[in-house]
Amino acid sequence: MRRQISSLVMRRLLIALITLLIVSIAVFSATALLPGDTATILLGQSATPEAVEGLRKAMHLNDPAIIRFLKWIAGIFQGDFGTSYANNVPIANLIHGRLANTMKLAGLTAAIAVPFALTLGITAAMWRGTLYDRIVTVATIGIISVPEFMIATLAVLLFAVYLKWLPALSFTNETKSFYDLMRTYAMPVMTLTFGVSAQMIRMTRAAVVETLNTPYVEMALLKGASRPRMVLRHALPNALGPIVNAVALSLSYLLGGVIIVETIFNYPGIAKLMVDAVSTRDLPLIQTCAMIFCLGYLALITAADIVAVLSNPRLR
């Protein structure tokens, strides 16, 4: 059994690596197709053709695409992400602090969103068909229907413009106390929590409701088990796999939602760094940021897949 489980886990990891390789090809191809010439953008429209051509040779932009791709992949495996075209500094130095800020934002959002969503999803399934269940369902559908940029804009208008409770922009270097930390992260975390929690609540509720309809849970109810005990003791352990998948899928949504949030609130994270790199056509920086997002997404999905298999005897 242990050998089979180890083989299964290794297969999942191998699939993740192959997927990451395919994504790297897609990322490199997409950035190569961006409009405009990198050398011209960096030097300006007034640059002479000789200067533009000299810069292209210095940055190896005239090399065939396959050569540039292989050099890029080899550098990533060696821990060398290259040098930024726009700043002429190692990309590792640029993303170090920005990645920490993004991880901090994602961690705070997950710490709030996961318990909140699981509680609402499980209790809605526990009392399904009641007024409470209908309110939770309608609220989650309403939140899902509203895009994140709209939630962020409304939050700025309400809490920053009209009430003047919170700053419209997030300046992490000004967080000298816990109060400043709360003010800085309140609106970005609130915006991300709405988007992440809505999906998680619906998926968690569906997983628990499906488990509650199984014969052994109904038998526990007929034997006199209370509804909370029936859910927490009998249904919830068997719904662990789908719930973990729901959490992973919802948290992976952070990787896309954080781009909008960091841009609107001017939060100094890696997503904002990637958006700025697109405007200057800084290809190595764009590619590195995109691969970090893809790696985070694959790590979450692969971990959820492995946990789902290990927690389900039928899948094992």
pLDDT of residue 225: 65
Contacts of residue 254, defined as CB under 8 A and 6 or more positions apart, other chains included, come to 106, 109, 110, 192, 196
User: Which residue is it, tokens 């065939």?
Assistant: 64
Residues 119, 201 contacting (CB under 8 angstroms): no
Give the CB-side neighbour count of residue 90, counting CA atoms within 13 A.
8
User: Which residue is it, tokens 């590619």?
Assistant: 287
What pTM value is reported for the model?
0.79
pLDDT of residue 134: 92
Q: Which domains does the chain have, with CATH numbers?
A: 94-311 (1.10.3720.10)
pLDDT of residue 94: 85
Contacts of residue 82, defined as CB under 8 A and 6 or more positions apart, other chains included, come to 72, 75, 90, 91, 284, 288
The ranges of the chain with pLDDT < 70 are 1, 36-37, 170-177, 220, 224-226, 234, 256-257, 311-316
SS3 assignment, position 241: helix
pLDDT of residue 315: 57
306-313: long-range pairs with CB below 8 Å, 24+: 306/9, 306/12, 307/240, 307/241, 307/244, 308/241, 308/242, 308/244, 308/245, 309/5, 309/8, 309/12, 309/241, 310/5, 311/240, 311/241, 311/244, 312/241
- Joined together, the tokens standing for residue 69 give 């791709």
Which among 293, 295, 286 is positioned nearest to 17, based on CA atoms? 295
pLDDT of residue 86: 77
